[in-house]
């Protein structure tokens, strides 16, 4: 079990916990260009995320995230580094994160912080946790871009 | 070693019963060793519930279950594994469609089935008719049991929402002209469901090439475990369909006031699914996808033809079903005037021949063919000429015993 | 060898994983060797369809399937094996009742469930409410997760036709006071359904003594295969209930015009059933009926108490569920403020502890308990004090890693 | 397989075939005290049976039977030997037949013909075939006895 426990220490390295604790970007925006609520129905992670855009570029980001450390760390990282990104940047960063989780490549030089999620690669059931805030952000930007911001692409319908 | 005996060697029950002429694969095909091994390996190495567990055992179970979904998607050439819903079997899959897709059909609109359907593709639609006034129309059969395609344009009318037919009859083996059905349905904007229960033991399928919208089959009919089946449907249909059963795993969230739906395929998989069985089915499908089906089909066809030829030489026998033998899957049913199929099967059994007699859950078809019951021989890849010869000799002997 | 290790020796997965502390039996209990052996023996020695075959293999399959029905009847002390319907699992059994018995309930009449139900005994009734205007009423829970019995007389009113409650909560382990429920239901002429999913792994049940009318459970929760479950119902109820799914085996006769119903239990078993799984379940139940449950219950209770005691000594832990430990099946869920159950389970997994964290398909109950998710340890007869000790140490360590 | 084939010869012994061929009692009654139609939905055997009673005793019996040799032989045996029986006699004979099928006892001395069904004992799936005519007769007598002959105890309802 020792190998497993050192793997765990890597999975829950200080960087992850620091980001989760810091909860960068926590809160709500007064004037958002788009708002998205997403959850992982299978595990209960949930994020409400708002962005405000100018000329297609994120100028402010805020979120309220309930979930595991990995999900919260990912949301916090976006809260810190999200401003300044445009749609292309979000897509590229998400792709880079997916590549890291699938153990296909190291983090890009401009986003070294993504490397803290590399140990989650060995735990497929946790990939969704890490990716949830990124998926929410991608949806929010898409929504802000869309002519009609009505459809939030919610995961399921009320009944 | 012949190809057939090499194949037989992979089926533990056939190995354990070397004297057995198993000619009832249309009811249940025997279990391939890889499927049995996969079930045992799963139960002893990765057994856990697949819903929401994050410990390694649960992750392994989840991975194995989803890999089986991938195998089923490849076996059917589905566009995505998300189009694969695991069910308890063909019957459960057909009831799912009749209930869920059926609830989207307006009273007065039409569902078309054929007179050749297995009860499992007959009764769910009769139940839908009772429940909500959907009209049920039948494509009639010709005297040889094939669908009367001349009627298609008339039966599949403008109010038709779904045409649900079998790919092969489980009684006559008659193959449905799927292209003709799909074309007639497309013309009026109706969807097509194919009951593949009798097709899957004869090789992988291509639902996209066939141009159908729903496809159902059972694991036990294609060398996999029982208690597992597959419903394939186009993603946009599944996305529009309401849940079938309620329970764990198919919801987004539940409160006292209501519940939300999970995305397909999970929306249709309430409760703990048959996990080990799905894994076993995946192994059986993987094995089938690795086979070269050209020589197998040739052999199945040759055996079927030899059987039909031999039966034709027995004067008491009345053959059911289409000619030539290439018009059917290797299933041959027959009637012997004055003798009851149960008596025939009993005497055949005493000679090591396992066949089924009765109405084969297809009473409307048998009524059209003018018999109440019949005896059926169905051939699979592990059968050989010796099985056919034994059957022909056995039938002659049965007539002698019973007359 | 301790009693627990003698028992563990009968579970292949546990034997293959000596370092594993399996504490997720409430999700899926491990498979007993006798059940696995019975599945393999059936698939390699008696595999055939059970519907209508008369050859020896088919007779053997039929006999094995019906013997499993007898085992289930004895396990529940049913009046007759004809009261046993095989289903795909608890969820399928509950949907069967909600749909078939539910169709006999008039709009405006009432079905009562509790706030402690698993989604599988929640959503089917919400679906029934949507379908036909049945009123759904909830027995609320007290802060410890037990049912608020003081409300019974008010909630179970004169229009109540069915009270459907769990026998033990899958989150808190809280045992339902079945006698109180049955008495309140009897007073107004309502039937009682018991969801036994969490009770059956703790020994045989007596449905007649409990005075209930329906009972549902899953094979995979009581050391049997997945993909199989049981619905028991009193014969007169089954006799009055319409079919659930349509298909082969559940009919009397089928014509183009309509169909007639077979007698129970077959009326409710459309299609080829999960035969080998039923046989495996029968073997598991036979094994359980041969055990002496008095010492097992004592051991399960002692472990549960030790676990609760240990958890109470960890200041960060908030325990959910009733006290004393005898008020619950050996299931213990807890919350650690600021830590997410998935992270906790991940760290526990790294220490060989298999636990599940989340909402456990019981969101309405968790809402009442004031948590969104929790971590659950569930104990079965193969667990021992070492599992409890490892868990307590593991939790302390998890807090260290995650804080 | 030789053992199995000699078992088959016993199962389909001449007596069975003779009774089935003779089809004693085939037909319908002009004035029946009771009529029953029964089938084995699982195998398709079917019998329509009529009896006419006087003072609780069968005076005439007629049946139309579709089914296997065993079922037809059993119906024919009842067609021949049924007249003269009362309810008690039918119950006793049925019980004797069940005992033979379950290989618990030899045929009673007053019904030696039942012995021809003994080889079916080894084939549980065929017991229902042999018993169907006896069950039909029992129901018919019950029906004739009942005040209201309406409820035929049919196996299933029309839909
Ligand atoms: C109390 C309770 N009811 C119902 C179920 C559903 O059982 P299954 O998933 O086997 O259908 C479960 C299992 O998770 C349960 O714990
Ligand atoms: C054509 C056809 N459809 C449906 C079924 C039903 O399959 P299952 O009994 O596996 O649900 C069968 C099998 O008997 C069949 O042959």
Considering the segment(s) D7-152 as one domain, its CATH architecture is Alpha-Beta Complex (3.90)
What gap in Å lies between CA C198 and CA C216, rounded to an integer?
A: 10
What gap in Å lies between CA B171 and CA C181, rounded to an integer?
A: 51
Could you please report the per-residue DSSP string of C39-60?
HHHHHHHS-S--SS--SHHHHH
Residue D125 phi/psi, 5° resolution? -70, -10
Residue C333 contacts B where some CB pair is shorter than 8 Å: no
**pLDDT for B321 beyond 90:** yes
Tokens 């409300």, located at residue: C151
**Are β-strands A46-54 and A34-39 bridged in parallel, bridged antiparallel, or unpaired?**
antiparallel
Pull the structure tokens for residue D96.
């004797």
Pull the structure tokens for residue C322.
């009733």
For position B100, what pLDDT does the model report?
98
Angle at B290 between CA B284 and CA B292, to 5 degrees: 120
**Which has the higher per-residue pLDDT, D123 or D100?**
D100
Q: pTM, whole model, 2 decimals?
A: 0.95
**pLDDT for B230 beyond 80:** yes
What gap in Å lies between CA B332 and CA B328, rounded to an integer?
A: 9
A96, A74 Cβ separation under 8 angstroms = no
What is the three-class DSSP state of A75? Answer: helix
Tokens 């007539």, located at residue: B399
User: Could you tell me the domains of chain B?
Assistant: 3-28+292-402 (3.90.1150.10), 35-289 (3.40.640.10)
Q: Does D17 sit within 8 Å of B346, measured CB to CB?
A: no
Using pLDDT thresholds of 50, 70 and 90, give the confidence band for residue D156.
very low
- The DSSP secondary-structure symbol of C97 reads I
For position C104, what pLDDT does the model report?
97
For position D147, what pLDDT does the model report?
40
Residue C52 contacts D where some CB pair is shorter than 8 Å: yes
State the average pLDDT over residues B263-285: 97
**Which has the higher per-residue pLDDT, A45 or C158?**
C158
State the average pLDDT over residues D131-136: 96
Strand segments, DSSP code E, in C148-248 are 160-166, 191-195, 214-218, 229-233
B chain contacts of residue C123, beta-carbon cutoff 8 Å:
243, 246-247, 250-251, 254, 259, 270
For position A150, what pLDDT does the model report?
40
D chain contacts of residue B349, beta-carbon cutoff 8 Å:
4
Tokens 């109950």, located at residue: C365
Which of C119, C175, C111, C189 has the alpha carbon at shortest distance from C147?
C175
**pLDDT for A148 beyond 50:** no
**Are β-strands B259-261 and A46-54 bridged in parallel, bridged antiparallel, or unpaired?**
unpaired
What gap in Å lies between CA B231 and CA B100, rounded to an integer?
A: 12
Tokens 């989760």, located at residue: A20
> On the CB side of D109, how many CA atoms lie within 13 Å of its CA?
0
Say which range, B175-184, B321-330, C38-47, D139-148, has the weakest mean pLDDT. Answer: D139-148
Chain C stretch 105-134, residues whose beta carbon is closer than 8 A to a beta carbon of chain A: 126, 130
Q: Does C270 sit within 8 Å of B91, measured CB to CB?
A: yes
A57, A115 Cβ separation under 8 angstroms = no
How do residues C318-355 score in pLDDT, each as one tens digit? 999 999 999 999 999 999 999 999 999 999 999 999 99
- Residues C353, C354, C359, C365, Cα dihedral to 10°: -80
What gap in Å lies between CA C40 and CA B194, rounded to an integer?
A: 32
Which of C119, C197, C108 has the alpha carbon at shortest distance from C161?
C108
C198 lines ligand 1 (CB under 6 A): yes
A chain contacts of residue B59, beta-carbon cutoff 8 Å:
123-125
Strand partners, B335: B318
- Name chain A's partners: 3 or more CB pairs within 8 A: B, C
Give me ligand 1 centre to Cα C378, in Å. Answer: 14
Atom nearest to C90 CA in ligand 1:
11
**pLDDT for A153 beyond 60:** no
How do residues B108-143 score in pLDDT, each as one tens digit? 999 999 999 999 999 999 999 999 999 999 999 999
Residue B162 phi/psi, 5° resolution? -150, 140
How do residues C254-304 score in pLDDT, each as one tens digit? 999 999 999 999 999 999 999 999 999 999 999 999 999 999 999 999 999
B chain contacts of residue D12, beta-carbon cutoff 8 Å:
343, 347, 401-402
CA C195 to chain centroid, in Å, comes to 6
C121 lines ligand 1 (CB under 6 A): yes
B218 lines ligand 2 (CB under 6 A): yes
C271, C248 Cβ separation under 8 angstroms = yes
Give me ligand 1 centre to Cα C90, in Å. Answer: 6
Q: Does D4 sit within 8 Å of B347, measured CB to CB?
A: no
Strand segments, DSSP code E, in B257-386 are 259-261, 317-319, 331-336, 353-354, 356-358, 374-378
State the average pLDDT over residues B34-46: 98
Query: Nearest CA of chain B to the CA of C339: how many Å?
Result: 15
C337, C325 Cβ separation under 8 angstroms = no
**pLDDT for C115 beyond 60:** yes
What gap in Å lies between CA C34 and CA B28, rounded to an integer?
A: 24
Tokens 């139309």, located at residue: D64
Mean residue pLDDT across chain B: 97
For position A1, what pLDDT does the model report?
45
Q: Which residues of C340-366 are buried (b: 16+ CB within 10 A; e: fewer)?
A: bbbbbbbbbbbbbbbbbbbbbbbbbbb
For position A2, what pLDDT does the model report?
56
What gap in Å lies between CA C394 and CA B333, rounded to an integer?
A: 64
Pull the structure tokens for residue C93.
């059994």
For position C240, what pLDDT does the model report?
98
Q: Report in angstroms the alpha-carbon separations of C284 from B320, C10, D141.
A: 44, 11, 44
Pull the structure tokens for residue B330.
């290797």
What is the three-class DSSP state of C18? Answer: coil
What gap in Å lies between CA D45 and CA D63, rounded to an integer?
A: 13
CA B239 to chain centroid, in Å, comes to 24
SS3 string, B136-204, reads EEEECECCCCCECHHHHHHHCCCCEEEEEEECECCCCCEECCHHHHHHHHHHHCCEEEEECCCCHHHCC
% of chain A residues with pLDDT over 90: 77
% of chain A residues with pLDDT over 70: 90
Pull the structure tokens for residue C69.
């029905």
Q: Does C263 sit within 8 Å of D156, measured CB to CB?
A: yes
State the average pLDDT over residues B319-324: 96
- The DSSP secondary-structure symbol of C326 reads G
Instruction: State the best of B122, B123, B342 to mutate against chain D, taking most chain D CBs within 10 Å.
Output: B342
How do residues B147-205 score in pLDDT, each as one tens digit? 999 999 999 999 999 999 999 999 999 999 999 999 999 999 999 999 999 999 999 99
For position A155, what pLDDT does the model report?
40
- The DSSP secondary-structure symbol of A86 reads B
């Amino acid at each position: 079990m020792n190998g497993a426990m050192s793997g765990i220490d890597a999975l829950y390295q200080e960087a992850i916990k620091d980001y989760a604790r810091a909860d960068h970007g926590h809160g709500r925006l007064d004037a958002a260009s788009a708002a998205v609520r997403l959850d992982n129905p299978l595990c209960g992670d949930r994020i409400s995320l708002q962005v405000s855009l100018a000329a297609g570029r994120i100028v402010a980001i805020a979120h309220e995230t309930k979930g595991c450390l990995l999900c919260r760390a990912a949301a916090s990282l976006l809260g810190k580094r999200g401003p300044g990104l445009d749609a292309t940047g979000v897509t590229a960063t998400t792709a880079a994160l997916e590549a890291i989780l699938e153990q296909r490549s190291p983090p890009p030089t401009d986003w070294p912080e993504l490397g803290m999620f590399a140990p989650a690669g060995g735990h497929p059931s946790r990939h969704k946790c890490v990716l949830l805030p990124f998926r929410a952000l991608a949806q929010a930007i898409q929504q802000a871009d869309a002519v009609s911001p009505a459809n939030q692409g919610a995961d399921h319908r009320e009944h | 070693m012949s190809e057939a005996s090499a194949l037989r060697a992979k089926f533990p029950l056939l190995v354990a019963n070397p004297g057995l002429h198993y000619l009832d694969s249309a009811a249940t095909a025997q279990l391939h060793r890889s499927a049995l091994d996969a079930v045992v390996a799963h139960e002893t190495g990765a057994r856990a519930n697949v819903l929401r567990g994050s410990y390694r055992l649960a992750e392994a179970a989840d991975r194995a279950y989803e890999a089986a979904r991938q195998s089923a998607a490849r076996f059917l050439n589905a566009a995505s594994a998300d189009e694969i819903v695991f069910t308890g079997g063909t019957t459960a899959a057909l009831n799912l469609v009749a209930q869920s897709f059926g609830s989207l059909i307006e009273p007065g609109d039409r569902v078309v089935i054929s007179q050749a359907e297995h009860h499992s593709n007959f009764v769910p639609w009769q139940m839908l008719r009772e429940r909500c006034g959907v009209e049920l129309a039948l494509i009639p059969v010709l005297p040889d049991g094939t669908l009367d395609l001349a009627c298609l344009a008339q039966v599949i009318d403008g109010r038709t929402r779904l045409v649900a037919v079998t790919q092969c009859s489980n009684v006559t083996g008659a193959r449905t002209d799927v292209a003709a059905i799909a074309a007639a349905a497309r013309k009026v904007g109706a969807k097509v469901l194919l009951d593949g229960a009798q097709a899957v033991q004869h090789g992988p399928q291509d639902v996209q090439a066939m141009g159908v919208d729903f496809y159902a089959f059972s694991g036990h009919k294609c060398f996999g475990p029982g208690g597992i089946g597959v419903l394939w449907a186009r993603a946009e249909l599944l996305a529009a369909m309401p849940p079938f059963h309620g329970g764990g795993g198919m919801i987004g969230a539940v409160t006292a006031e209501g519940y939300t739906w999970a995305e397909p395929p999970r929306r249709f998989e309430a409760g703990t699914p048959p996990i080990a069985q799905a894994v076993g089915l995946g192994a059986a499908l993987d094995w089938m996808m690795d086979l070269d089906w050209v020589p197998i089909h040739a052999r199945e066809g040759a055996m079927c033809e030899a059987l039909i030829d031999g039966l034709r030489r027995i004067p008491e026998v009345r053959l059911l079903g289409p000619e030539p033998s290439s018009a059917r899957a290797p299933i041959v049913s027959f009637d012997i005037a004055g003798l009851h199929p149960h008596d025939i099967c009993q005497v055949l059994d005493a000679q090591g021949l396992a066949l089924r007699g009765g109405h084969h859950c297809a009473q409307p078809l048998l009524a059209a063919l003018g018999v109440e019951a019949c005896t059926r021989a169905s051939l699979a890849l592990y059968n050989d000429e010796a099985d056919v010869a034994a059957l022909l000799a056995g039938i002659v002997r049965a007539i002698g015993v019973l007359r």
